[in-house]
Amino acid sequence: MPPLAGWIALLIAFGAVAQPLGFLPLALRPHLVRTRAFRLLAAAVFTGTTV
């Protein structure tokens, strides 16, 4: 198995931390789920994790 590229490993590590932490703001302010910025950030983190 070839070694994992550094940028891919970084994306996966960032997503592994950022995805669970993304629920914290929703616990405090549930209305954030309707904001465009939150949805874009969540989509970017999810996309980076699934690279």
Q: Is residue 10 domain-resident?
A: no
Residue with tokens 């940028």: 7
Query: How many independent structural domains does the chain possess?
Result: 1
Q: Is residue 28 domain-resident?
A: yes
Q: What amino acid is encoded at 23 in this protein?
A: F
Q: Which pTM was predicted?
A: 0.74
At residue 31, the pLDDT reads 95
At residue 4, the pLDDT reads 82
List the domain range (segments joined by +) for residue 36: 18-51
Q: Is residue 30 domain-resident?
A: yes
Q: Spell out, as residue ranges, where the chain has pLDDT lower than 70.
A: none
Question: What is the rounded average pLDDT for all residues in the chain?
Answer: 91
- CA-to-CA separations, 12 to 20, 39, 43, 47, 51, in angstroms, rounded: 13, 19, 14, 10, 8
Q: Is residue 13 domain-resident?
A: no
18-30, pLDDT tens digit by residue? 999 999 999 999 9
Q: Is residue 33 domain-resident?
A: yes
At residue 14, the pLDDT reads 92
